Amino acid sequence: MKKIMAFILVGLCLVSGALAAGSQVITGHIPKDVATSTKMDRLPADQILKLTVGLPIRNKSALDALSKSLHDPASPQYQHFLTSEETTARFGPTEHDYQTVIDFLKSNGLTVTYKTRTRMVVGVSGKVGEIEKIFNTHFYNYRRSNGNVFYAPDTEPSIDLDVPILHISGMDNSHIPQALSHLQKIK
């Protein structure tokens, strides 16, 4: 019985430690190329990164229903579209949530570079070392088999914040730009 209790206690400690490292895991930030590339050195702690933090919409089911009725000729709401301000008020993050995210990022050393009227995006910049602490991850350079080098986090970012975060752009530079010359010209 003592062994079982000790096992449960260790498990609880591990779980609480994982939660302390960031209660909200934000998935989708590990590029596929990480799996087939060679992990190299860490990014310098004083290197500046520019990130875009995205917040999710509210009331998604209501937004879906409204969208359907706006496009249904039998609906009394047919083509009675909302203004940007009305859409933000009904479906955008609340002013409180948006300000909470901004205050959190600023209090952790990041500089707010832009905000949007829709409250769905906030741009920030900061040192890699600060970003690693905020998002409980580390940034490494990776080398592809063709020799190209990119940076990316080694784990999915997590954050100890009650306001939901949808995505963080700028956590990697693994995208390889490609020429659009293969597109057919429109006549």
According to the per-residue pLDDT averaged within each range, which of 23-27, 88-92, 136-140 is highest? 136-140
Spatial contact of 129 and 46, defined as CB atoms under 8 Å apart: yes
Query: Which pairs with CB-CB distance under 8 Å and at least 24 residues apart come from 169-178?
Result: 169/51, 169/52, 169/54, 170/49, 170/50, 170/51, 170/52, 171/29, 171/49, 171/51, 171/135, 171/139, 172/29, 172/31, 174/31, 174/33, 174/34, 174/142, 174/150, 175/31, 176/148
Q: Which whole number is the average pLDDT over 169-183? A: 78
The pLDDT score that the predictor gives to residue 185 is: 57
- 3-state per-residue secondary structure call for 102-135: HHHHHHCCCEEEEECCCCCEEEEEEEHHHHHHHH
Give the mean pLDDT of 24-40: 95
pLDDT in the model for residue 183: 60
Asked whether the predicted pLDDT for residue 17 surpasses 70, the reply is no
Q: What is the pLDDT of residues 56-101, one digit of tens each?
A: 988 777 677 768 877 878 877 778 786 888 787 778 899 999 999 9
Which tens digit of pLDDT belongs to each residue from 33-42?
Answer: 999 999 999 9
pTM of the entire predicted model = 0.76
